[in-house]
Structure 1
Amino acid sequence: MSLLQAVICGIFYYLNAGPWVIGAGYYTFGKPLLLGFMVGLVLGDPITGTIIGATIQLIYLGVMSTGGSYPADSALAGIMGTAAAITTGLSATEAVAIAVPIGLIGTALYQLRMLSAVPFTHLADKYAAEGNTKKVFLANVLYPQIILAAIYIIPCTLACYFGVNAISGVVDALSGSAILSALSVIGGILPVIGIAMNMKAIFKGDARCFFFVGFILVVYLNLDLIAISALALIFAILYMQLKSSSDEKEAAVK
């Protein structure tokens, strides 16, 4: 990986946390699926990048950041896992096994980001008391974003530039060994955990029947993902319309 490619990956990591991608950020741009495609595009293999990013995404299906908690940094895991896999020739499952600990390390950067914003909050209060709206804007927007860019871009760039090359050397040294086979097995298990966490959240009440409908469509009718997604959207719309009509009738009776 060249230095320029590493810097671009670092910018991707920053954009997932910054406010500049309007309507996106953490909830879309920060997901391994999209970041895998973007990193693959930079490295000249967007198809492999998308496949690896989608595989890493499975781990984080049920992971949510609530109440300020941040259990894992899926963005950093997606970027580093995809970059390592494309550069070193790892399989998607092997990349997953590498991405998970990287995602845990990324939580330290998130905490540092939160701490770095505290002084600017007090600075903004000071400028607000003085009635200086221009400096309030600088304290609320410009200064924190400069610090955030440094916190996210620099470590990610260094990790991509030096870390991926280091991983490449380790992979070459372990080529054909049982360790890589173990990583592949572990990587194949981890996505199942993400799917199970997601099912725990959605497998409730009336939503249960939709899971079995989807299972039948995949296993017995062999429909592809696009067809299943279209049918799922139709089922969801019909369900919401019927439920709304039922609720209105119950309200009228009461």
Structure 2
Amino acid sequence: MLQLALLAFLASFICYFVQWTFGQPMIDQPICVGLVAGLIFGDVTTGIIIGAAMEAIFIGNVNVGGATSAEPVTGTVMAVCFVTHMGMDQGAAITLATAVAIFANIIYSLIFNVLMSFWAPLIDWAADTGETKNVFIVHFGGALVMNAAMAIPTFLGVYFGAEPVANLVNVIPAAVTNGFNAAAGLLPAVGMALLLRMLWNNKTAIYFLLGFVLVSYLGMPMVGVAAIGAVVVVVTAYREMDLMDLRNKIKSLRETGVAAGTLSKAEVEEEDFFA
């Protein structure tokens, strides 16, 4: 189990380190974490599938400053580990991983917001010395310490939990497993609902209705819906650019004191419309 726990630690550490050291490229999102964990555990397909399922759950999860709601890296890595090496059913692993992600957020907050505050004096010292080498050492040294600390819960979860999970898999009744699968199927709907709470307004509602009609009544695959969505975005962007140019033109004419009578009829109508 030690080797398996070390692999889980490595997967979490890579995701944390790249995310917080190289400009936050969003590698800590479940779909990316699933890929990294799949590569390390030797089953890329399973890693991507679980990562995509977890992404649907946490797609509306946004952590701002000290206000955090979930920490999906630990949950996703553990889910991939339990499915690929413990033989756990995918639905049960995803359901368990969701609870782990919420619980791990407490540890994440303590490490990120409390423990690393003690690193601040070293940062001040490196800045005061004016030496690039000292800044480099403190920066990457702090990154190693912080991200290693954040990956420790994943290590402990796999090290102490892998064997009990393996034993539990053999005694779980089929009815319980089916219940986990049903719960896992509902969790993405919860994630989408959280996302809609932030995005929903009267102007965008029509686009959600369009997507629903395309999928439910026309049977269009998600890739096709995404392609249509991309076209709508481009068309809307061009329209907004044209309107912005028109507003800027009218504003410029007003600032230069051009009388409305010197404008064409169409331009006067446009000015009255946007006034």
Going from structure 1 to structure 2, the CA distance change for 1:142 and 1:159 (only over 3 Å counts) comes to same
Does the Cα contact within 8 Å between 1:10 and 1:152 map onto a contact in 2?
no
Q: Secondary structure at the match of 1:205?
A: coil
Going from structure 1 to structure 2, the CA distance change for 1:37 and 1:130 (only over 3 Å counts) comes to closer
Deviation (angstroms), 1:59: 1.4
d(CA) in 2 for partners of 1:164 and 1:170?
Answer: 10
d(CA) in 2 for partners of 1:127 and 1:248?
Answer: 48
Q: Secondary structure at the match of 1:72?
A: coil
Please name the residue that 2:140 is paired with: 142
Alignment equivalent of 2:229, drawn from 227, 232, 244: 232
Deviation (angstroms), 1:51: 1.8
Please name the residue that 1:163 is paired with: 161
CA RMSD of aligned residues (A): 2.5
Alignment equivalent of 1:185, drawn from 175, 182, 187: 182
Does the Cα contact within 8 Å between 2:111 and 2:146 map onto a contact in 1?
no
Does the Cα contact within 8 Å between 1:120 and 1:143 map onto a contact in 2?
no
1:10 is the counterpart of 2:4: no
Please name the residue that 2:91 is paired with: 93
Where do residues 31-180 of structure 1 align in structure 2 (5 Å cutoff)? 31-110=29-108, 111-139=110-138, 141-176=139-174, 178-180=175-177
Going from structure 1 to structure 2, the CA distance change for 1:132 and 1:51 (only over 3 Å counts) comes to closer
Identical-pair percentage: 22
Unpaired segments ≥5 residues, structure 1? none
Deviation (angstroms), 1:196: 0.6
d(CA) in 2 for partners of 1:170 and 1:90?
Answer: 9
d(CA) in 2 for partners of 1:5 and 1:184?
Answer: 25
Please name the residue that 1:244 is paired with: 241
Alignment equivalent of 1:195, drawn from 192, 195, 200: 192
d(CA) in 2 for partners of 1:99 and 1:134?
Answer: 41
AA aligned to 2:236 is Y
d(CA) in 2 for partners of 1:129 and 1:182?
Answer: 59
Which region of structure 1 is more displaced relative to structure 2, 81-90 or 164-173?
81-90
Size of the aligned set, in residue pairs, is: 249
Please name the residue that 1:208 is paired with: 205
Unpaired segments ≥5 residues, structure 2? 251-270
d(CA) in 1 for partners of 2:204 and 2:2?
Answer: 48
Q: Secondary structure at the match of 1:66?
A: coil
Deviation (angstroms), 1:130: 4.2
Instruction: Write out per-residue CA displacement over residues 70-116 of structure 1, whole angstroms, 9 at most, x where no aligned residue.
Output: 21001111111222233344443322210122102221332213323
Q: Secondary structure at the match of 1:109?
A: helix
Going from structure 1 to structure 2, the CA distance change for 1:43 and 1:120 (only over 3 Å counts) comes to closer
AA aligned to 1:187 is A
AA aligned to 1:153 is A
Please name the residue that 2:257 is paired with: none
d(CA) in 2 for partners of 1:162 and 1:188?
Answer: 28
d(CA) in 2 for partners of 1:246 and 1:96?
Answer: 46
